[in-house]
Amino acid sequence: MQYRFSEMFLRTLRDNPADAEVASHSLLIRAGYLRRAAAGGYTWLPLGLMVLNKVTAVIREEMNRAGFQEVHFPALLPREPYEATNRWTEYGPALFRLQDRRGADYLLAPTHEEMFTLLVKDLYSSYKDLPVSLYQIQTKYRDEARPRAGLLRGREFVMKDSYSFDVDDAGLITSYQKHRAAYQRTFERLNIDYVIVSAQSGAMGGSASEEFLAPAAAGEDTYVVTSGGAANVEAIQIAPAASIDFASLPAATVHDTPDTPTIQSLVEFSNSKPELVGAKPWTAADTLKNVVVRLTHQDGSTSALAIGVPGDREVDMRRLEAQVYPATVTPFGDEDFAKYPTLVKGYIGPGQLGKHASAKIEYLVDPRVAPGTSWITGANKSGSHVFHLVADRDFKPDGVIDVADVRVGDDCVVPAGTVTQLARGIEVGHIFQLGKKYAEALDLKVLNENGEQITVTMGSYGIGVTRAVAVIAEQHHDDKGLRWPRAISPVDVHLVIAGKDESLFTGATELANTLNAAGYSVLIDDRVGVSVGVKFNDAELLGIPTIIVVGKKFVDGVVELRDRFADQAVDVALTEVVGAVQNLK
C-alpha cells in the first residue's frame, strides 16, 4: 500500500490536549490516531485503526495457534442470565442497564461469562465434547467511576475474552496454562514489557488468578516483587506478627496530650514529656491509628468500619476496596461523624470500637497489631491518649484486616519473601481459574464416563485490546513522539520528501513502488507548502519506525535512512535501500 500524506484523513496537533494526563493519550491524539468522542469513548482515525487492526491480528493469531476458536456475541444482552449469577446486581453502578420499548431489561455487556456458559450448555452434553476454549474480540461497556487516560480506562473498549470448559481441575489447570503461554507469546510479539503477578479475582469470582501488568508510571495498579514472586498489592498477604507475652508490660494509662490530633503531633508531644518517654523515644510505629470509613453494601445499606493500623502506615484504599468488595468505601465525613457522637475525631481509640462497644462499629486491625503488642492510641476524649494499651489484654478487635500500605522490607506470605520492589503497572491481561461458579449458577453439566451428570469447571481470560495500544504507546515513545515497534506500526516506511524539486516527488514515488514490491507499505509525505522542519517533526510524532528522507543527496542516488526505534540515521544508496530496510530490527 501507498498512502499520501496530502490525501490522508490526518491532522497532527502541536499542543497536548487539555485533558491528557499520560503520554500515550496525548501522543495518540496529537499524532492523529484518535479523537475523543464521548467520556471514555474514542474515534479511531485511519492510522489509529491500522494499529488497532495489527494488534488485534496478533492476538487473534496467537489464540488460533493455541487451538481456541473464535465466536462473536452481541454486546446488547438480556438481563436474565446475569440475574441468574447475581451479576445484574453485583456489578453495581459500572453496569450499563437499559430497557427496550417493551420495558424489558437489557445490559451492555461488561464481560461475557454468562453467555459463553449458556452457549456451551446449548450445544454440548458429554465429557467427550470437552475440553473446549472459545474466544471473541468484542466491544465491552463499563460505566467506570473514573474513565481516564484515553484508551487506558474507557467506558467503551475492545477486549479479547476467552473461556475454557473442562471436566475436572486437572483439565482446568491445563487450559489455564495454555492461555498463560499464549498470552506470553502475544505480549512478546506486541513488544509489551510485562510482569505476571498474582491477583485478586474481583468481580469474576473464582480462585486462582494472575494479571499481566505492563510496568509504567501511568499505571493504576501497584505490584510488589519478592524473592518468591510478584503480586498485585490487592492480592498480597503480609506475614502475621508473632503474639507477645504481655505479663510484664506496664499497665495502660491515660494522659493529657493537648492539641495532638495527628500522629506527628502526638509523637512530638510524647517525646517532649520526660514522664512519658520510656527506654527509647517514641516513633510513629508505636502509635495505633484508627481510621473509620463508610461501607456501602450491595443492597444500598451502609455501615461504619474502623481499621487500626500502626501510625507510620496509611490505609491503602485499593487494598481496602479489594478486601471489602462488592461493598464500596467512602472516607468518613462530617455527616458520618455526626451519627456517631462518641467518636472524637483525632482521638479515636479502641475503647469505643468493636461490635461490643456502644457505637457498634466493626473494628478490624492490621496483622501487626498482634496479641500482646502495646500501643499509644486515642482515649476517645479530645486532647487525650492512652499509653501502653495492649492488644488482647486491654482491647479485643473483631478481627484482622490486611490493608495497610506496603513497603520495601515488609515480609509477605503471598508472594513469599521480603518485598524488594514496589512498582506501578497497567493491567493488560488477566487470567482466572473460575471453577464452577458460573456453571453451577447456569446449570452447565455434562455426562461423565459413568453416565453421571457433572458440573463443568471454567476459566476466563481477558486482554484489553484497545488498552494494549495505549500500553505500547506508553512504553515506546520519546519526547518527540511515538516509536512503534515494527510489528504493529500502522505503515512500514515513512518517506519524507525534503525539497520542492519535481524530481524528488517522482523519485519518492518510484522508491515507494520498489518498497511495495518488497512487501513494505509506505506513507509518502508529499505535502507541498509544508516546511521540511514540519515534515520531520510530524514524522517523529507519528512514530513510524523506518523513515526515509528523499532530499539533497537524491541527485547522487543517496537517501537518508532513519531508524526511529534505535534513534540512528545513515546515508544509503538507492540501490541498497530495500536491503537496508530489511536489516532494521
Binding site for ligand ATP (CB under 6 A): 111, 142, 144, 153-154, 157, 159, 202, 427-430, 462, 464, 466-467
Question: Which amino acid, 61?
Answer: E
Closer to ligand ATP at the Cβ: 30 or 142?
Answer: 142
Q: What does the CA dihedral 228, 232, 236, 238 come to, rounded to 10 degrees?
A: 80
Q: Provide the angle, in degrees to the nearest 10, between the axes of the packed helices 465-475 and 46-65.
A: 110
| Three-state SS at 259 | coil
Instruction: State the cell numbers at 566.
Output: 534505535
Closer to ligand ATP at the Cβ: 159 or 344?
Answer: 159
Query: Shortest Cβ distance from residue 582 to ligand ATP (Å)?
Result: 34
Could you tell me which residues come within 8 angstroms of residue 441 by beta carbon, excluding any fewer than 6 positions away?
Answer: 84, 85, 86
Query: Shortest Cβ distance from residue 163 to ligand ATP (Å)?
Result: 12
Closer to ligand ATP at the Cβ: 466 or 475?
Answer: 466
Q: What are the φ/ψ torsions at residue 240 (nearest 5 degrees)?
A: -65, 145
Place of cell 471514555: 40
Q: What are the φ/ψ torsions at residue 572 (nearest 5 degrees)?
A: -135, 140
Closest CA to 463 of 425, 412, 426, 507: 426
Using Cβ positions, the residue closest to ligand ATP within the complex turns out to be 464
Question: How far apart are alpha carbons 562 and 565 in whole angstroms?
Answer: 9
Instruction: State the cell numbers at 361.
Output: 462499629
Query: Shortest Cβ distance from residue 326 to ligand ATP (Å)?
Result: 13
* Burial of residue 444 (number of CB atoms within 10 Å: 0-12, 13-18, 19+): buried
Question: How far apart are alpha carbons 286 and 299 in whole angstroms?
Answer: 39
Could you tell me which residues come within 8 angstroms of residue 225 by beta carbon, excluding any fewer than 6 positions away?
Answer: 195, 415, 419, 420, 421, 422, 423
Closer to ligand ATP at the Cβ: 311 or 429?
Answer: 429
Q: How far is CA 282 from the centre of its chain?
A: 39
Query: Shortest Cβ distance from residue 42 to ligand ATP (Å)?
Result: 10
Question: How far apart are alpha carbons 370 and 50 in whole angstroms?
Answer: 57
Sort strands 41-44 and 457-464 into parallel, antiparallel or unpaired: unpaired
Closer to ligand ATP at the Cβ: 194 or 395?
Answer: 194
Closer to ligand ATP at the Cβ: 467 or 564?
Answer: 467
Query: Shortest Cβ distance from residue 232 to ligand ATP (Å)?
Result: 9
Question: How far apart are alpha carbons 233 and 410 in whole angstroms?
Answer: 12
Instruction: State the cell numbers at 117.
Output: 456458559
Query: Shortest Cβ distance from residue 483 to ligand ATP (Å)?
Result: 22
Closer to ligand ATP at the Cβ: 430 or 562?
Answer: 430
Query: Shortest Cβ distance from residue 467 to ligand ATP (Å)?
Result: 4
Could you tell me which residues come within 8 angstroms of residue 307 by beta carbon, excluding any fewer than 6 positions away?
Answer: 290, 291, 292, 293, 315, 320, 364, 365, 366, 401, 403
Closer to ligand ATP at the Cβ: 429 or 507?
Answer: 429
Query: Shortest Cβ distance from residue 197 to ligand ATP (Å)?
Result: 12
Q: Please name the helix (run of DSSP H) or strand (run of DSSP E) that holds residue 522, with its range, or none.
A: strand 522-525
Question: How far apart are alpha carbons 212 and 224 in whole angstroms?
Answer: 13
Q: What are the φ/ψ torsions at residue 389 (nearest 5 degrees)?
A: -85, 120
Question: Which amino acid, 281?
Answer: P
* Burial of residue 260 (number of CB atoms within 10 Å: 0-12, 13-18, 19+): buried
Closer to ligand ATP at the Cβ: 429 or 459?
Answer: 429
Closer to ligand ATP at the Cβ: 178 or 385?
Answer: 178
Closer to ligand ATP at the Cβ: 109 or 495?
Answer: 109
Query: Shortest Cβ distance from residue 463 to ligand ATP (Å)?
Result: 6
Query: Shortest Cβ distance from residue 136 to ligand ATP (Å)?
Result: 13
Closer to ligand ATP at the Cβ: 231 or 511?
Answer: 231
Query: Shortest Cβ distance from residue 133 to ligand ATP (Å)?
Result: 16
Closer to ligand ATP at the Cβ: 90 or 144?
Answer: 144
Cα torsion angle, 107, 110, 113, 115, sign: positive
Q: How far is CA 497 from the centre of its chain?
A: 41
Q: How far is CA 9 from the centre of its chain?
A: 32
Query: Shortest Cβ distance from residue 304 to ligand ATP (Å)?
Result: 27
Query: Shortest Cβ distance from residue 464 to ligand ATP (Å)?
Result: 2
